[in-house]
Structure 1
């Protein structure tokens, strides 16, 4: 009981800090990462389920703006051996004239400390390519812009990330360092703002009748813009539905609902409101397939 009280205090404290932030920026990150597919934010979750997991999502944000960001992602992960897991992600992300394509391969390992405690470790290698739309080649004088052509001719670039998650009974706290190339080198040629670090903490309270509620707190650090704190919770009624509500210090409120599709998986729907500046509205649709 004391442990549960301690974990609850930790989560509430994180949420209070989140409300005090002045972060205003909005970033196109999938809402699914918080509850439905944690492998999206941390390589340590590759193979965390007892089944092979396929997940596809489409995210549209800044609805109503020309060149608004769009994200399409396909992922798959599975456990193999007693303590290992592997995962694959293919991502296409477009914002205005800039398109980013990414492939990511992850490996995870679980260190079992005892019956109640375990440490998940994960590492991922990725390749990405960023290109500007062909219309950006032509400047106002009708000439080919050499800077744009040079940028598009760069080809594929290697990157990577590392993650760790500590789990004790129903409590989990984890961290991931993403886009390691940016952290360890001064690569000024990448046009897009990127995420550098993320920390998540959650506790799953088991209720009666196959129900549970899981509060969560999250912090994200970006390369150029303000940090983002996220706090919220998900209510889960096993094999019936789950519903989530999140608040971000951008001022956006995000809500989601998911329903199972027999024993095959589930369909998830998410909606995010505008931030304090009056833009950033988004929606997300995802399909989860469980292969047992």
Structure 2
């Protein structure tokens, strides 16, 4: 099984090399909260997992993206195996995601509910399938737009222009104590998001279908030190595929440091601490390696996690580390 997991990660690592902006927010610490992209993780842990994050991208550039999110998910009827020779019981998971992403005059806000079903395949390997459904609201504040031509523009009517769309995501996740592999699709309905103006014309922004393929492996490298390489491939036609490579070191299941390489985009440094059975904190800094590095001073991201209903007083997550 170990060789199979490493092979999967290797295949994912060479999937693609080009980078270009996509509609979904760019996040650096997603590996600690894959629930954001894959609803199959709903209720994966033994407690209610709540996470709050703020990301300030490309500091120094006016109108650069700023992202906030809150996620929460918990298991339902989750039972442990009676002993190590028996499979754990199947269980359900539910959750919710609220996020907002502002770039210049454009604001995108989403809210969705999630459900997942977790099925033990063997004594050590589990699989889950999940769905998320909700709404995405795109808004443009036209008072922040500047036009450099005399021809009337469909967005020049003034005020705020809003459009609500239905959002649907699906995901699969296979996981154990030391590996995980997942695939998910978001914005699958590809509902057209038209910013309707009081003027004659209409400006439209269609949703892109997004696909995420992830893989990670955890192995003991030294005494009390685990290494966790991981990779994520992001596809959103017609944008080129994006790929992230990550490596983190976890010490004593309390403190972790890591680094990521986002091809042709950024180098990322990360650090985090599992403070208690209730609280954990993560911070990351992105240094641009594209031409944008001349005009910005980097990207900051903070994630604060809370473990509620944590009766077993787990400090380091068992399944999403």
The TM-score normalised by the length of structure 2 is: 0.79
Structure 2 regions of 5+ residues with no counterpart? Answer: 79-90, 195-203, 311-321
2:145 and 2:152 map into 1 onto residues whose CA distance is 5
- 1:54 pairs with 2:56: no
Helix, strand or coil for the counterpart of 1:278? helix
- 1:30 pairs with 2:27: yes
Helix, strand or coil for the counterpart of 1:227? strand
* 1:203-242 matches, cutoff 5 A: 203-207=217-221, 209-242=223-256
Structure 1 regions of 5+ residues with no counterpart? Answer: none
Equivalent residue for 1:260?
274
The equivalent position to 1:42 in structure 2, one of 28, 38, 41, is: 38
**Is the CA contact 1:24–1:277 (under 8 Å) kept in the aligned structure 2?**
no
Deviation digits for residues 248-292 of structure 1, max 9, x if unmatched? 113411121001223322111001111322347311011111111
Helix, strand or coil for the counterpart of 1:262? coil
Tell me the C-alpha RMSD between the 2 structures: 2.8
Q: Using the TM superposition, give the Cα deviation of residue 32 of structure 1 relative to its aligned residue in structure 2, in angstroms.
A: 2.0
**Is the CA contact 1:195–1:220 (under 8 Å) kept in the aligned structure 2?**
no
Query: Please, which moves more after superposition, 249-258 or 121-130?
Result: 249-258
- 1:130 pairs with 2:144: no
1:167 and 1:137 map into 2 onto residues whose CA distance is 47
- 1:64 pairs with 2:72: no
**Is the CA contact 1:232–1:244 (under 8 Å) kept in the aligned structure 2?**
yes
Question: Higher helix share goes to which structure?
Answer: 1
Helix, strand or coil for the counterpart of 1:191? strand
Q: In the comparison of the two structures, how many residue pairs are matched? A: 283
Deviation digits for residues 195-238 of structure 1, max 9, x if unmatched? 61000011111345443111111100124322101112111113
The TM-score normalised by the length of structure 1 is: 0.86
Helix, strand or coil for the counterpart of 1:285? strand
Query: Please, which moves more after superposition, 37-46 or 229-238?
Result: 229-238
The verdict on how the C-alpha distance between 1:161 and 1:91 changes in structure 2, with shifts beyond 3 A counting, is same
Helix, strand or coil for the counterpart of 1:226? strand
- 1:284 pairs with 2:301: yes
The verdict on how the C-alpha distance between 1:290 and 1:209 changes in structure 2, with shifts beyond 3 A counting, is farther
Equivalent residue for 2:111?
103
